[in-house]
Every structure is written in structure tokens, then in C-alpha cells.
Structure 1
């Protein structure tokens, strides 16, 4: 007889840790947390939950890494959390002729276990503790993606515990080449449709994975805000030229006078535009270090984006080491001098835990072109807002495009295949106020005093709305039904950086629905998969795929 899965209830010492993830804004009060070690544990947990009529108004949710930007996993209506983090094996499956990665594995699990044993890599994210259960199902990208594409571009199959009849869970394996169309829909839905929509993901299989370069060239650099405050035009020049570089690179129109015949598909960068209270703006760079022209290409890129920083022999803005943590990445002062490192070593150097355990709010945007002058002015205005002070508030601008844009818009559920940058707006804070006067800081303080989060939420919301004011406060998808989007240089939002604000008509005055901003025209097929595999809406949250209404 199979053993029952581990259930961690409120009297267990582990309960406090397991009912929350990294983001301390969201803390659930479930009856218990199931620590699943096999897919059978997941089946058992779902059977128990669905068999209890008292759970009809409560949710069952699933967590792998626990980065949880919104309260989709942890909220007051959650009855059970299934934690799959113990399901973290990475191995070759000869029956599938594919590499299998279990849903509880993290970016770091997949990186180390795959690379050390096979020399291959999944082009996953730069925060090593992010769980692949959600990372992959939302599309997944990282420092190799401009060269290799998205994680889902290699997805061959997925194992999901589904409950199509609302009562009886079963393990379902859906393949890219399944003969059953409903299974192909289920596979496709996991190539960018987001986690927690159709069932509990337990395993992924991948084919065609590639070898990363043996060595990469890495560099980090920072510029002091005091210099930019003295010369706002130079801050704006940095943002403008950074965006132009990736727009021109994507279009094949980089100026020959600056770049000759250089190619940059292997270049990945993260520009960290912090609030001025941080003291420094940062930039992290990685490109293939095996190519003979890597050093020259890096220098040409840096010269281009900082072209206005120097007049003659006079530097108006000096380069400094990135010697402090910014956002979700650690200090990297040792990479101030361009450094050639083995790919795995560099990955460990650039990666961090994904963020300390603190509260956070996030927003996102895909960009199909460089920044407009309105956007540049708005970015500068909010990053120099003297009424707000938070060194952990920023907008991170990731390079995008390259191999990502080689894939067709309908081949996966990720339809944004023409963007050149992806933005992540971030604000972090700690409780910092003993609201209940008990001598300690904890989540109860935030429950008693919502204004602890108030300044941070107002800042990031105002920032976002201002940047996208011409399109109703959101990074719109171009659509003739919304005339304001005609000249938009944006293409919606990233489902793995979920943001409930885009569902709020007071904050999204364009009226373009949240599902169009995430999924564009993919949403109809995602709804078809939802109707087939979760018609009873067992798996739901504030922005889950809706079961289509029967006409």
C-alpha cells in the first residue's frame, strides 16, 4: 500500500515556513501543506481535496520555487498548498528519448545537473532558486535566450495531474506530437500559458538542448547617480541609446561605422535603472567568450551606449564597479574588468537566490522598439522622485530578441516574438514597523498597517502608469480595436511577472483586457485547453485562464 503524502499542518514547526514563499506580502492559512515527493502524492492530495464538499469555495494551489509575485499561491481562500520542490530530479529518459526535469527542480538544479553530466543547458533564468514548474510553463528565458531561444522552445512533453471530471485526478502525459488533439492542446498550453491553470505539473521533457559556450565574457559596471543628477541628459542618453542598440540589432541596422560586421546574438544584458536613493545605476553583460572578437564587440557596445559620457578627454560620468546588490542580483565588483570565465562559473557568479525574503511588487512590459522620449522622461522623473526613497526600487531592462524571435507567434503559447527588450519594474521593502507593538517585526504588522506597503505600491503604480500614459497606463498590444495603440512600441506583459493591477480599470484605462496583454491571440486556444482539462475550474486564481462560457 502506497504511503500517504506528507501533510504539514498548523501545529507543525514547518508550517510557518511552508505556507509562504519568497515574497513576504503573501502568507496563506491553509489547512495543511502537502510536501509531494512523487506524482502519486499529488494524485492523493487532489483526490482528498476534491472529495471534500467543504472545499468547493476554497482553492488548492501548487508551489515549486515559491517566488510568487502575486497571491496566486498564498491567499486567504487557499485550503491546501501542494509543494513539489522535493520532486527535483534531472535525468535522461530513454523511453521518451528526451531529458526529463521534474517540476520542483530549480534553475540551478537544471543548470548543474544537466551541464555536468551532458554538457547541455536549458536557457533558463538568472535567479537560481526559481522553480521550473512555473518558470517553464510561463515561457522562461535567461542569459542564453538571445542565442538559444526560450525554455519552451525545447519542450517535448509535460506530465500534468489533471482533474477533468472534477473528482478523479489522473497523471496525464501530453507530447508535442501526440496523436490526440486534446493532448497536443495540453502540451501547447504549457509552452507559455502560465502555471496552475490546467493541473499540477510534475515533469517536463526536453529535446534538442544545446551546449552553452565553454567560456563567456562577463562584465559589470555602474555609474553614480550623483553624476546623472548633475547631467540628466546623460542618464536619458544611456536609456535612449541602450534601447536603440537592441532595436537596430534586431533590424540588422547597427551603424557600420561603430560596429563594422560584428554580430551580437550571443549578447545578453541587464540594465538596472534604480531609484536615485540607490546611489548607482548598474549594467550586467554576458557574451560568448570563445569567439575571437568578443572583447572588441563588448568594447564597441559599451562605447555606443555611453557615447555622450565623454567630451574630448573629459568624462562627465565615470564608470565604477558594481559593488552593491541591485534588485535580484548581488554585488559584482570583481567583474568590473571584463572577465573570461567558464560558462558554469559565470552562471554561478551572476546568479543569486532570486531575492531575499522581503515584500515585493512587480510589473512588466515587452518592447518592440527603443524608448520614446515620453518614456525616457517618465523613467527619469520617477527614478529621481525626491518624495520617495528606496534603494531597492528600479526598472530592470533585459535584452531580448535574437533566437527568441525566430519562432513563430503560434508555435508556442508565447506570442511575443518580435520584442527587443523586456522590462521588469520592481520595488522591495521589509515590514519595518512594529504595528502591533509586540517588540518584533513580522507579517502581522503588515496585516494591521497596510500603509507599510503604501508608499511602494503608489510609487510603482504611478511610475508604470506614467511611462505608458499614451496607451492608457499599460504596455499595450497593437490592436485596431484600440486606436491609442496604433503607434505603440510595446507588446503586452509577461505572465511570469504577474500583475493584478492590469485587471483594474482604474489603472488600466485603455480597457485592453489582462489576458490580451499576457497572451494576445493565444488566449482562445488556452481557453479551449481549459475547457477540456479543467472545466470545473479546480485550478484558479485572480488571473487564471477562464473556462469559456457555453453558448
Structure 2
């Protein structure tokens, strides 16, 4: 294997592309981007970096797929980016008795290579280009997760290039069943502790991977925003009943008719509550297509969440094709009629990452359906005058099922009782030629912060308003705290990082960012940090800190 990785430096034609990731808000000016093709390459790059005087070093960061939502990988203080995207091999490792997937593999790499050769799958995300280096280490979930759980529920071992002494890189393999408690802790930290904290992840090994359904049943529908303008109470009904469905399903409280014989663990849905300027609200649903009752279950679910759309013989809100892209997913007009597809084909048709643009994201776990306050706040900000952006939305993912079968401490993902996961999203392009050179590019945004300002203001105001009763954030419910004990929220998802959680003006809950991500597990993550990265070589704005 090579021990002399490729370095791309300023002046190289590739430099401008490799110093940025998916989110065009964040563009670094590193001394070099190191293209690693092996763990030895990573160790060599880290050895060179650590040989520099500590006082002269800017941060070293790691990129697999490039989908970090904040500037943890690309920012002005970054000196070296280690790009492991070339490490994308997938194979069975007989020595480990496990499937090995390198950290640079994308969701699509793992999907195609695993399924085509073995019939197995990792229950990962729906965006094909997300790299597993970060996706898995933050927990990882997707359309198979209600049926099979999270990606980390199958993680057996992880290889990390560490530098505990601050000088010498070491290839470390941490197994779930390691005799050394420090190694077991390092494994645990990579089951939801987030990326960029302890070292450079180079390989994962997975055991017991599930076999996805041979066929899945898909349907995508949309509803015209004008119908909700005419009948605003029906927008609230849709959101309320959607949340109630998964709350009741988890608690065994769905009404006997028509749900007595139906189970829904195999169903995953994404409700896209768009800004009114998008014109349509969308919904995508996937079920196991090999079950003969799947069409009936799909129809029963849609009838349940839209029950109030009919008044006698009058249809107040009509279904339409979802014939436009929303968020990070493509148009799905062809799925207006329930469609049976092979699982791999369906996965390919849903996979997308959207166009090149800037974005801001927030998240929330919900342990029950929406409160009236939350519904009204969402509706208010999606329809308020003064802001117009068809690429602004709240996506509500179904959650729970097999995810909640694991104990909260079994992995570093502590949210094991939620039924919904919210993704707050807003996208924009530069759109202003601030430097008057006849072009749109990132320099315009650097010169004119007003380009991003209205979009950031909108999503911050929305989030703060939705969670206003608990200090502007989705707090962890505490039975001993009268202010939070009745909360239906359970914190935030580390793979949708949000630096606003660290802002005391935006987060007045008294719960710090690390509690919202990790709950009580943060202290254990800090102990892992103390053991494996006590010199804090790997850090960013919301990285695990060395305990003091």
C-alpha cells in the first residue's frame, strides 16, 4: 500500500474543488488536501502534520463524502484536509468474520457493492453521496431503519488512526468485544459520538447485516398549498394526524379498525412541509412490497392522516403528483400511482443530494406527536409574508420501530424512544454579484453577508418559535424538572450539527449542546477523548472536549 499520499496544494487545478464539500457555505484555504488511499496514507499525512511546530499548525480535518452541514471540515482555521474518499472498498473479511467497508465509501458504494454480491444491506441514508466515515460514526439511519435499526446497531469494529501521544500516529482497531476496556470504549464512541473527535476513521466492520425486502412498495403524493390557504385547519390536521399515527403505532394505540391486523415497522415515510412559495407539500412512503397486505396498509395510512380532507362528498384537499424536487430529494411524479420496485432500483430512484448550493440545517427528535404550539408555529413560519423561498422546509421523518429496540446506552446514540425525527432545512444560492465581476461564486457571499442573512434569520426564527416553550431548542425531558418534564422532544442529531445550539441567545434552555446531542453519554465520550486524543489534535466547534 502507498505511504506517500497525493497532496493537492494551492495552484493545482483540483484545489478549488477539493477544499470545499457539499455545503457551498464552507470553503477552506488549507495548505494542502491529502488524498489518502489507505490507512498507511492517513498515518503518513498525520505524521507530517504532527512534525510541524504546534504553534504554527492550523487544524487538521477529515472528509469522506463532504456532507458536514457546519464548517467543521472547511473553515479558515483549517490547514490540512485528509480526504479519504478514495478508500471506498467493500468486502468480506474472514479474519474478522465481518463485512469491511472503508470510510470513504458512500451510501451508494455500500448499497451497490453489498447488495449485488451478498443480498445484504446497511440501513443507511437516502442521500447516495454521503460518506460512511461520518454517517456511521454519528449513528446513521435511513428508509430501512424502522425495520432494521441504525447503522451502528451492526457495527462490530472500527479502525482509527490515532495519535494519543501527540506525535506518533497509530493504526488502532477497536472491537465491540475487545478485552481492553479502552478499546471497547473507543468502539462505543464511534457508534454515535460523531466524526472528527478521536482520530481518522479508515475502516468499519459490520456483522449480522439484514436482508432488505426483495421488492418495496412506493408512493409519493403532494397537496397544493392553495388548498391549505383556503382551509388552514387542514394543514394543522395533516401534521397532527401524521405525528399521532407514529405515536399511536409505537404505543399500540391505533384504532382496531382498520389497523387491527396491520403492522407498520416496515414503513418509512418523509413528510415535506415546504414553504408556501414551493406550491406543494409532499409525502413519500416506502413499505415492504413482498407482503400481500402492503397496498391495503399504504391506503389505510394515507386515509388516516388525511381523514379531515373530506367533508361529506366534497374533497377539500386533493392529492396531486409530487412532480417537483423538494429538499434533497428529486421529483417523484411517477410514484403517484403505488409502484412496486426491486429494493435496489427503488433506492437508486430516491437517492439524490440536490444541486450545488448553500444550506443551514437543524434537527429535533420527538417522542410523541406534535403539540398544538409546534404545529401552529410551523404553519406560521411557512406562510408568513416577508420571506419567500421554495427551498425552505421542515421534513418530518418517521422514526422508532427497530431503532427503539436498543437500550439508550448500548450505543452512543441515546435517543431510543423517539417516533419522529425533524429536519429543518433552508437552501439558497449566491444570487448576487457582490464583486461586480459578472459572475456568481463564493466570493460574493464573503463580500455580502446579506445574501445568507434572510435565510439564516428565517430558520432560526422558525426553530426558536417551534421550541419556544423549552428555551428555543428541543430539550431532553427531565422528570425532575417542571419546565421540561412534559416535553415531547429528546434533543438533536449530531449528524445534523447546528452551532446555534452553542449560542446562549438562541438556546436559553440551560441544556448545553452536548446534552442535546448525547444526553448523559457525553461524560463517557470525554473519557474516550482523554484516552485517545488528550492533546485535542482533532477538534472543531462542537467536538468532544478533553475533560478538565
1:180 has 2:159 as partner = no
| Alignment partners' CA distance in 2, 1:82 and 1:126 | 25
Q: Which residue in the other structure is 2:340 paired with?
A: 340
Q: Which residue in the other structure is 1:398 paired with?
A: 397
Question: Which of 151-160 and 256-265 deviates more?
Answer: 256-265
State the 1:473 CA deviation.
Answer: 0.2
Contact 2:2 2:38 in 1 (8 A): no
Q: Which residue in the other structure is 1:428 paired with?
A: 427
| Alignment partners' CA distance in 1, 2:356 and 2:322 | 22
Normalized against structure 2, the TM-score is what? 0.99
| Alignment partners' CA distance in 2, 1:2 and 1:368 | 48
Q: Which residue in the other structure is 2:532 paired with?
A: 533
State the 1:433 CA deviation.
Answer: 0.2
State the 1:259 CA deviation.
Answer: 1.5
| Alignment partners' CA distance in 2, 1:392 and 1:223 | 16
1:291 has 2:291 as partner = yes
State the 1:303 CA deviation.
Answer: 0.2
Q: Which residue in the other structure is 1:515 paired with?
A: 514
| Alignment partners' CA distance in 1, 2:232 and 2:470 | 25
State the 1:479 CA deviation.
Answer: 2.2
| Alignment partners' CA distance in 2, 1:57 and 1:153 | 37
| Alignment partners' CA distance in 1, 2:3 and 2:397 | 46
- CA deviation string 1:418-445 (max 9, x = no partner): 0000000000000000001111011110
Q: Which residue in the other structure is 1:242 paired with?
A: 242
| Alignment partners' CA distance in 2, 1:59 and 1:211 | 41
Q: Which residue in the other structure is 2:330 paired with?
A: 330
Task: Report how many residues are paired.
Answer: 548
Q: Which residue in the other structure is 1:499 paired with?
A: 498
**After the TM superposition, which residues 36-47 of structure 1 pair with which residues of structure 2 at under 5 Å, given as runs?**
36-47=36-47
Contact 1:55 1:79 in 2 (8 A): no
Contact 1:365 1:422 in 2 (8 A): yes
State the 1:355 CA deviation.
Answer: 2.5
Distance 1:512 1:56, change over 3 A: farther
Gaps of 5+ in 2: none
Q: Which residue in the other structure is 1:364 paired with?
A: 363
1:489 has 2:463 as partner = no
| Alignment partners' CA distance in 1, 2:371 and 2:190 | 34
Q: Which residue in the other structure is 1:200 paired with?
A: 200
Contact 1:144 1:266 in 2 (8 A): yes
Q: Which residue in the other structure is 1:464 paired with?
A: 463
Cα root mean square deviation, aligned = 1.0
State the 1:114 CA deviation.
Answer: 0.1
1:163 has 2:171 as partner = no
Normalized against structure 1, the TM-score is what? 0.99
Q: Which residue in the other structure is 2:268 paired with?
A: 268
- CA deviation string 1:98-147 (max 9, x = no partner): 00000000000000000000000000000010000000000000000000
Q: Which residue in the other structure is 1:439 paired with?
A: 438
Q: Which residue in the other structure is 1:412 paired with?
A: 411
Question: Which of 538-547 and 48-57 deviates more?
Answer: 48-57
State the 1:51 CA deviation.
Answer: 0.8
| Alignment partners' CA distance in 2, 1:229 and 1:74 | 41
Write out the 4+ residue segments of structure 1 that deviate beyond 3 Å after TM superposition.
54-57, 480-483
| Alignment partners' CA distance in 2, 1:513 and 1:434 | 39
What SS is found at the alignment partner of 1:254?
A: coil
Q: Which residue in the other structure is 2:215 paired with?
A: 215
Q: Which residue in the other structure is 1:154 paired with?
A: 154
State the 1:481 CA deviation.
Answer: 6.4
State the 1:357 CA deviation.
Answer: 1.4
**After the TM superposition, which residues 112-123 of structure 1 pair with which residues of structure 2 at under 5 Å, given as runs?**
112-123=112-123
Distance 1:523 1:221, change over 3 A: same
- CA deviation string 1:217-254 (max 9, x = no partner): 00000001011111000000000000000000010111
| Alignment partners' CA distance in 2, 1:327 and 1:474 | 22
Gaps of 5+ in 1: none
Q: Which residue in the other structure is 2:311 paired with?
A: 311
Contact 1:22 1:356 in 2 (8 A): no
